[in-house]
């Protein structure tokens, strides 16, 4: 007689089918912000889809046999290669961008709640597209006086499942990495307000997007950051590739369903966004800051998924005569992961609030400066913490935790590492935060600055340490001390944010 097969139905059922419905912090944040009606219905749809159809799809599109690929050129010395994205990933992109999430009237909190829910499945070929499209839309609203810009923005905002577009942003070059002031891609006037771009870009994620934001240097522009301009470049013109060649796909640690390419520009035509020479300021201030917000939400989402997976599995699985969750050390690990996920989620939502407040017309200097520094700290600290939480959850599964097709955690762990590297790694963002504190004159008013952002969570000790650092911010000891202080400042911010939602 065949043995009764062991089944994991209890674990799978415990993952839930509505990730908004079981998230009290998210519900409270939305209620506090007055999100209702169609906006709340949007979040509710994402909550159900993230837990069901998108969860299942995210596992499939990341399998090796389903990844994006470059079609090899034909036999007659063709150079252009076509980048192929699988149909299931395209369907997921269609569902995301055709959902109404980019309508200008959509409540910002609803938009970022939906993004948070989406990211609980990792990048999965869609989350980077969401971040880049958000940044593209914001750049077009702020800088897009050209009729072509207004047309692209209208297509983003009015997207439907039958007619949608998405964006990407290409900054990195081989010689500079995060040091975008070294960008050398050439931009030559081509008439009708267009420029022809020539040169390579080294790390181009979401490479099949319809519109690319590309940094380049117009001929005659000075060296350094003031010579970099920002261009909006359609991927295609008249149905053919717009002056570019996909050189190769990156073989990344994570986010594998997301096509990331090296691209050679050979006369791609695009138009400037903003004044020539102001591109780096606009790219960082609008586009990369928006992507950092998405990274913060993605880090919190990875932490929440880690807590969800760990709780579901350990409450189902038995070992040595009792549920895994009932073993004291496992229980301690579960509490640590869950508490970290709560802090990360509350901190992410509070960072979104601070950022949106700074974007409002008439926002005062204190609001804008706190948000500027906070986004750097939040992205750096939360992204680094997410990998540890996902890893700890993965280890609670034993051997099943490292089996790629058993569960999502190995994939989420790799994705979390990529999130930390996107839009500035940990050290770069702390350096930027320290530079901002020094450049905008926080020395001598450290207590007021921290009090503004942390309220009762600030104390004299934090202000005193920050004062010692800002007394000589370029000294090696001060920089290293800030590396120790920054996570503590953001940790206090998370605690304050969590207390406000509980």
Please tell me the distance from the alpha carbon of residue 139 to that of residue 290, in angstroms, as a whole number.
Answer: 10
* Pairing of β 260-272 and β 186-191: unpaired
Residue 361 neighbours by CB under 8 Å, 6+ apart: none
Would you say the CATH fold of 281-501 matches that of 167-279? no
The number of residues making up the chain comes to: 502
274 strand-pairing partners: none
Give the rounded percent of residues in the chain with a pLDDT score beyond 90.
Answer: 90
Nearest to 215 by CA among 258, 172, 264: 172
Give the rounded percent of residues in the chain with a pLDDT score beyond 70.
Answer: 99
Q: Residue 371's pLDDT is what?
A: 98
Cβ–Cβ under 8 Å, residues 83 and 207: yes
Q: Residue 102's pLDDT is what?
A: 97
69 strand-pairing partners: 84
339 strand-pairing partners: none
Q: What letter would DSSP give residue 2?
A: P
* Pairing of β 194-205 and β 260-272: antiparallel
The C-alpha angle with vertex 377 and arms to 376 and 382, in degrees rounded to 5, equals 110
**374 pLDDT tier (thresholds 50, 70, 90):** very high
Check if CATH label 1.20.140.10 holds for domain 281-501: yes
Q: Where are the domains of the chain?
A: 9-157, 167-279, 281-501
Please tell me the distance from the alpha carbon of residue 362 to that of residue 357, in angstroms, as a whole number.
Answer: 10
243 Ramachandran zone, left/alpha/beta (phi>0; psi -120 to 50)? left
- pTM (predicted TM-score): 0.96
Residue with tokens 């959850």: 393
Element (H, E) at 270: strand 260-272
Q: Residue 180's pLDDT is what?
A: 84
Q: pLDDT digit string (tens) for 300-313?
A: 999 999 999 999 99
Residue with tokens 């948070």: 116
**77 pLDDT tier (thresholds 50, 70, 90):** low
Q: Give me the DSSP letters along 333-401.
A: HHHHHHHHHHHHHHHHHHHHHHHHHHHSTT--HHHHHHHHHHHHHHHHHHHHHHHHHHHHHHHTTGGGG
Rounded average pLDDT over 368-392 = 98
* SS3 per-residue string spanning 8-60: CHHHHHHCCCCCCCCCHHHHHHHHHCCCCHHHHHHHHHHHHHHHCHHHHHHHH
Residue 42 predicted with pLDDT over 70: yes
Residue 71 predicted with pLDDT over 90: no
Angstrom distances, CA of residue 477 to CA of 23, 254, 468: 42, 35, 10
Please tell me the distance from the alpha carbon of residue 263 to that of residue 74, in angstroms, as a whole number.
Answer: 19
Rounded average pLDDT over 246-256 = 93
Residue 4 predicted with pLDDT over 90: no
**Local structure of 217: helix, strand or coil:** strand
Q: Residue 108's pLDDT is what?
A: 97
Q: pLDDT digit string (tens) for 312-353?
A: 999 999 999 999 999 999 999 999 999 999 999 999 999 999
Rounded average pLDDT over 354-369 = 97
Cβ–Cβ under 8 Å, residues 300 and 351: no
Element (H, E) at 489: helix 476-501
Residue 177 predicted with pLDDT over 60: yes
Residue 380 predicted with pLDDT over 80: yes
**76 pLDDT tier (thresholds 50, 70, 90):** confident
Query: At CB < 8 A and 24+ separation, what contacts does 161-165 make?
Result: 161/94, 161/95, 161/98, 162/98, 163/98, 164/93, 164/94, 164/97, 164/98, 165/97, 165/133, 165/209, 165/210, 165/211
C-alpha dihedral (144, 145, 150, 151), degrees to nearest 10: -100
Mean pLDDT score across all residues of the chain: 95
The C-alpha angle with vertex 177 and arms to 171 and 178, in degrees rounded to 5, equals 75
Nearest to 453 by CA among 341, 372, 342, 340: 372
Cβ–Cβ under 8 Å, residues 258 and 123: yes
Rounded average pLDDT over 205-232 = 94
Residue 185 predicted with pLDDT over 80: yes
6 Ramachandran zone, left/alpha/beta (phi>0; psi -120 to 50)? beta
Cβ–Cβ under 8 Å, residues 181 and 160: no
Q: Residue 72's pLDDT is what?
A: 77
Q: pLDDT digit string (tens) for 406-447?
A: 999 999 999 999 999 999 899 999 999 999 999 999 999 999
Phi/psi for 81 (5° steps) reads: -115, 145
Q: Residue 179's pLDDT is what?
A: 83
Residue 1 predicted with pLDDT over 70: no
Please tell me the distance from the alpha carbon of residue 123 to that of residue 128, in angstroms, as a whole number.
Answer: 6
Q: Residue 269's pLDDT is what?
A: 98
Ranges of beta strands (E only) in 102-208 are 167-170, 186-191, 194-205
Q: pLDDT digit string (tens) for 128-176?
A: 999 999 999 999 999 988 999 999 999 999 999 999 999 999 999 998 8
Burial classification of residue 191, based on how many CB atoms lie within 10 Å of its CB (0-12 exposed, 13-18 middle, 19 or more buried): exposed
Q: Residue 79's pLDDT is what?
A: 67
Architecture of domain 167-279: Beta Barrel (2.40)
Q: Residue 225's pLDDT is what?
A: 86
């Amino acid at each position: 007689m065949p043995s009764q097969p062991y089944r994991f139905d209890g674990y799978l059922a415990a993952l839930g089918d509505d990730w908004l419905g079981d998230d009290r912090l998210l519900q409270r944040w939305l209620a506090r912000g007055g999100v209702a009606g169609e906006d709340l219905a949007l979040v509710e749809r994402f909550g159900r889809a993230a837990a069901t159809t998108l969860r299942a799809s995210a596992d499939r599109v990341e399998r090796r046999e389903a990844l994006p690929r470059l079609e090899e050129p034909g036999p007659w010395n063709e150079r252009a290669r076509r980048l192929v994205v699988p149909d299931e990933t395209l369907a997921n992109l269609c569902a995301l961008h055709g959902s109404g999430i980019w309508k200008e009237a959509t409540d910002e909190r609803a938009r970022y709640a939906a993004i948070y829910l989406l990211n609980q499945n990792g990048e999965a070929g869609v989350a980077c597209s969401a971040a880049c499209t958000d940044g593209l839309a914001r750049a077009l609203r702020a800088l897009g006086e050209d009729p072509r810009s207004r047309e692209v923005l209208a297509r983003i905002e009015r997207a439907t499942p039958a007619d949608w577009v998405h964006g990407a942003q290409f900054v990195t070059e081989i010689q500079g990495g995060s040091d975008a002031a070294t960008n050398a891609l050439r931009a030559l006037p081509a008439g009708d307000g267009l420029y022809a771009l020539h040169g390579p870009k080294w790390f181009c994620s979401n490479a099949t997007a319809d519109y690319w934001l590309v940094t380049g240097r117009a001929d005659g522009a000075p060296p350094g950051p003031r010579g970099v301009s920002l261009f909006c470049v359609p991927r295609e013109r008249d149905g053919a590739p717009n002056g570019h060649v996909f050189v190769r796909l990156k073989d990344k640690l994570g986010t594998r369903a997301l096509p990331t390419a090296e691209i050679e520009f050979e006369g791609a035509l695009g138009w400037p966004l903003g004044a020539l020479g102001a591109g780096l300021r606009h790219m960082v201030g609008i586009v990369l800051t928006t992507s950092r917000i998405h990274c913060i939400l993605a880090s919190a989402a990875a932490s929440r998924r880690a807590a969800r997976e760990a709780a579901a599995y350990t409450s189902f699985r038995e070992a040595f005569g009792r549920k895994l969750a009932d073993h004291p050390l496992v229980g301690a690990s579960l509490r640590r992961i869950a508490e970290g996920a709560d802090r990360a989620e509350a901190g992410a939502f509070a960072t979104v609030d601070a950022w949106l407040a700074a974007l409002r017309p008439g926002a005062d200097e204190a609001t804008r400066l706190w948000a500027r520094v906070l986004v750097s700290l939040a992205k750096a600290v939360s992204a680094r913490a997410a990998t540890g939480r996902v890893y700890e959850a993965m280890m609670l599964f034993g051997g099943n935790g490292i089996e790629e097709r058993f569960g999502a955690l190995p994939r989420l762990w790799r994705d979390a590492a990529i999130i930390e590297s996107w839009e500035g790694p940990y050290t770069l963002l702390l350096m930027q935060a320290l530079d901002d504190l020094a450049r905008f004159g926080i020395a001598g008013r450290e207590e007021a600055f921290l009090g503004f952002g942390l309220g009762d969570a600030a104390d004299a000790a934090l202000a005193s340490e920050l004062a010692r650092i800002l007394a000589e911010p370029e000294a090696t000891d001060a920089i290293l001390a800030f590396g120790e202080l920054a996570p503590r400042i953001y940790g206090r911010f998370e605690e304050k944010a969590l207390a406000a939602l509980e």
